Amino acid sequence: GRVLERMDTDTSCGGEYRDKNIIQRFPIFARQLTAFKAVAVCAGGAGKVRLISIFDGKTEYQLGKPMEGLGSNGFFVYAYPSQAVQAEVPLESALRSAKRVILRCLVSGSGWRQGPTLAFPFLTPIAVLDNLAI
- CA 38 vs. chain centroid, Å, equals 8
91/108 Cα distance (integer angstroms):
28
Closest CA to 100 of 63, 65, 69, 129: 129
Better-scored residue on pLDDT, 88 or 12: 88
Phi, psi of 108 (to 5 degrees): -160, 170
pLDDT at 123: 98
Better-scored residue on pLDDT, 98 or 8: 98
Q: Give the 3-state secondary structure of residue 107.
A: strand
- CA 87 vs. chain centroid, Å, equals 9
Is 74 exposed, middle or buried (CB count within 10 Å of its CB: 0-12, 13-18, 19+)? buried
Better-scored residue on pLDDT, 6 or 54: 54
Residue 115: CA count within 13 A, CB half-sphere: 13
Confidence category of residue 21, pLDDT binned at 50, 70, 90: low
- Model pTM? 0.79
pLDDT at 9: 38
Specify whether the CB–CB gap between 42 and 98 falls below 8 A: yes
CB neighbour list of residue 131: distance below 8 Å, 6 or more residues apart: none
Confidence category of residue 15, pLDDT binned at 50, 70, 90: very low
Q: At residue 79, does pLDDT exceed 60?
A: yes
Per-residue pLDDT averaged across 8-18, rounded? Answer: 41
Confidence category of residue 33, pLDDT binned at 50, 70, 90: very high
